[in-house]
Amino acid sequence: MSLYSSMNTALSGMNAQSRALGHISDNVANSQTVGFKRTDTNFVSYISESNSETHRPGTVLARPDFTNQVQGTIEQVENPLALAISGQGFFTAALPVGTNADGTKNFDARNFYTRAGDFNRDREGYMVNGSGYALQGWPVTNGVVDKTQLTPIQVKEDVFTPTPTQELNLTGNLAAGGTTNQSTSIQVIDTLGRSRALTLSFAPSASTTDNTWTLSINSPEATTPALGSINILFGKDGAVDQPDGTLAEFTTPTGTVTGTAAAAGSPATVTFKADFGQGLQTMTLNLGSFGVSGGLTQFASTGASGLSVNSFEQDGIPLGSFSSVTTQKNGDVRINYDNGQSRIVARVPVTVFKDPDKLDHLDGQAFLRTTESGEARVVEAGEDGAGLLSTRAVERSNVDIATEFSKLILAQRAYSANTKIVTTVDELLQETLNMRR
């Protein structure tokens, strides 16, 4: 009987609109949730019989219509670890599920995916978002990115291991015809990361026309302060004539000091050793090249001093303590130290799917891969269709309150209209029952 069919249709309409109201209420409640993706409603009609002569009322079903591919607003925040994806893709995350016997954190074996990039460090140093999911990335060791595995990113507040000084580079000029001793103090790093003073003294020869200087190297903090000396010859005073003012030859080394053999264009370096209490430490002082106007030269000086140091560099790095951690646009997670150094510990990739709307929704704005979504492809940010990373930013919910309120009004009216049909059918059935009187 069509009356019963009409009532069933109206009841299915009420049920479908109630589901739509559920989707709307979920959207409105999460309008300020970071990385949330709204759920629209797709109404599907089911017909029991319909042809050119007969049409019987069917039913309607409300299916969720996910918007995982719809971009939310990217908003800048003060959090230096916050990340947002501008475009397609997801962060790969791990879910902590307890602690191992050795005290390390244990994670679910499955990979989870999220757009919620409000990451912060937890007490173990893992980068977790507001829902507790730990960000995963490619580990980086000595600057080499290992793309064969994804691991939860952990930022440890360890120290930066010091590097002792091995090479020094000096660029400067000694005044031609100088008659007074000249010196400069520099700092080097010992094997324990401590800064040590080093003095380079230049003494001219007795003759003002002689282009020879004696370099003496001393360190008051070494077990033997006087490290040695060596003569530096400029221009035509060397065994092989060189252009005036350029390095020509090293002669007469003493102590721990030695110099390289003279050859036009070859490096002019002086090697010496110092013991700062941990054994002899070998260092090499680079003064430029023989016969080349660069490094250490001897030309007329326009200043009051007979020695002008243009630049000095040494490759030693002192001990460094943890200072901060930041993220880069290419996904690099960089730890900064108070000695001016930094180290990259991981790189954050972007995971893309063929059909991200078919991912399974989980608590905390997370998703799981399904057969319908396709395989997860883990790629560099900005490559192979993946979105770009925005640092110090989060992606807000893609819910528009005004649109949701408009849908709310329509769902309310549609639900009320279906109740009217139920009421009308009820009255008609009552009239049918009264026919026997």
* Same domain (yes/no): 59, 104: no
H or E, element range at 415: helix 401-433
Residue 208: is its pLDDT beyond 60?
Answer: no
* Same domain (yes/no): 132, 200: no
pLDDT given at position 11: 87
Mean pLDDT within 11-15: 89
- Residue in 130, 112, 121 with CA at minimum distance from that of residue 81: 121
* Same domain (yes/no): 155, 263: no
Q: Which of 257, 279, 314 finishes a domain?
A: 314
Mean pLDDT of the chain: 91
pLDDT given at position 50: 72
| Residue 43 to residue 26: CA distance in whole angstroms | 18
Q: Which residue has the higher pLDDT, 289 or 1?
A: 289
Mean pLDDT within 271-294: 94
| Residue 270 to residue 150: CA distance in whole angstroms | 47
Q: In sequence order, what are the beta bridge partners of 83?
A: 391
* Burial bucket for residue 268 (CB in 10 Å: 0-12, 13-18, 19+): buried
Residue 158: is its pLDDT beyond 80?
Answer: yes
pLDDT above 70 coverage of the chain, percent: 97
The pLDDT tens digits for 231-249 are 999 987 666 788 889 999 9
Containing domain of residue 36, as a range? 2-67+398-436
Strands in 176-257 per DSSP E:
182-189, 195-204, 212-218, 226-234, 247-255
pLDDT above 90 coverage of the chain, percent: 74
The pLDDT tens digits for 55-92 are 777 789 899 999 999 999 999 999 999 999 999 999 99
* Same domain (yes/no): 103, 189: no
Total domains in the chain come to 3
The torsion region of residue 180 among left (phi > 0), alpha (psi -120 to 50) and beta comes to beta
* Same domain (yes/no): 429, 383: no
pLDDT given at position 48: 74
Residue 302: is its pLDDT beyond 70?
Answer: no
* Same domain (yes/no): 187, 280: yes
Residue 179: is its pLDDT beyond 90?
Answer: no
Residue type, 116: A
Torsion of CA 334, 339, 340, 345, to 10 degrees: -10
What CATH number should be reported for the domain holding residue 205? 2.60.98
Residue 303: is its pLDDT beyond 70?
Answer: no
Paired sense of beta strands 258-259 and 247-255, if any: unpaired
**With bands split at pLDDT 50, 70 and 90, how would you rate the model's confidence at 47?**
confident
* Same domain (yes/no): 111, 196: no
3-state secondary structure of 408: helix
Residue 211: is its pLDDT beyond 90?
Answer: no
| Residue 61 to residue 55: CA distance in whole angstroms | 18
* Same domain (yes/no): 222, 347: no
* Same domain (yes/no): 173, 304: yes
Residue 121: is its pLDDT beyond 90?
Answer: yes
Q: Which residue has the higher pLDDT, 208 or 251?
A: 251
CA end-to-end span of the chain, whole Å? 21
pLDDT given at position 3: 73
Between 92-106, 254-268, 305-319, 417-431, the lowest mean confidence (pLDDT) is in 417-431
Place of tokens 């995916």: 113
* Same domain (yes/no): 238, 299: yes
Q: What is the DSSP letter of 434?
A: G
pLDDT given at position 229: 96
pLDDT given at position 102: 80
Residue 201: is its pLDDT beyond 70?
Answer: yes
| Residue 51 to residue 223: CA distance in whole angstroms | 105
* Same domain (yes/no): 244, 281: yes
Q: Which of 314, 344, 377 finishes a domain?
A: 314
The pLDDT tens digits for 368-413 are 999 999 999 999 999 999 999 999 999 999 999 999 999 999 999 9
| Residue 127 to residue 150: CA distance in whole angstroms | 14
Q: Which of 270, 294, 314 finishes a domain?
A: 314
* Same domain (yes/no): 390, 414: no
Residue 34: is its pLDDT beyond 70?
Answer: yes
pLDDT given at position 239: 67
pLDDT given at position 416: 92
